[in-house]
Amino acid sequence: MSAVEFDLDAYLARIELSLAEGFVADIPLLHRLHRAQALSIPFENFDICLGKPIKLDAQSLQGKLVRQRRGGYCFEVNGLLLLALQALGYEARVLLCRVHTNGQSTGRTHQICLVKVAGQDWLLDVGFGSNTPTVPLPLEMGVKTSGFGMHYRLTKDNELGYVLSCLAEADTASQPLYSFDLGHVTPADIELGNYFTSTSPESFFTSARVAVLPVTDGQVVLLDDCLKLRRDGKETQLPLADDVSYLQALQEYLGIYLDVDYAELKPLFNSVN
């Protein structure tokens, strides 16, 4: 990816991150970058609900997420993050993961970033919905990493490879989120996962409207017609009406502007089999 193909200045303006002249691509900047994008670009699947193809080339990602100020799901938001990392001089590449949140592992349908800084490997993920890690995670087994009130830990499984889990506050229970290995990922692997996830009736994203935006004291979570505002450990639920006010709520609470009629916004399939 060349500097010409990625507009770093426009990206930094989009996530409201300023860099000093002569900045160094180090670990503190990695944390700042991850936090800035997580707080600025929402996780959302509305183009899938509108029946639009999800394009992952550099021009399309920048057009939608930067210039149009939209969000996207993992292949988009983490794809954009990867471009930014590489443009900033980091050694970064894609990993594909199997999702475990429903009790069974999927195919490799979740994309994250692996970054090596000063000899240490880090995982960056800004696209896993309400369980999105809001800080970079060191690729170290058994280390508890916390951010924005969420807690994570990596373990190793003989069959699945690395397993990332979300921890309860007291560490008494954990929920496996996804598993992965460090094998090479090709563009065809990414396209295959993206196509299945954005078009298959077996995919969660074709049967529900979803959006998540972390905030400094919690997060805003949308699932279909229910908007949840989680702030300082408290949750407020706002039911949304099936009319234009739905689109207005997307813009007010999530910063998502859709220039469509409400009737166009529907899942592609009614339910997941």
Which tokens belong to 190? 């990414």
Which tokens belong to 222? 């949308």
d(CA 126, CA 112): 8
Which tokens belong to 36? 């800035």
Phi, psi of 213 (to 5 degrees): -140, 115
- Which residues are identified as catalytic? 74, 110, 125
Residue 2 class from Cβ within 10 Å (0-12 exposed, 13-18 middle, 19+ buried)? exposed
Phi, psi of 87 (to 5 degrees): -65, -30
Which tokens belong to 126? 């800004």
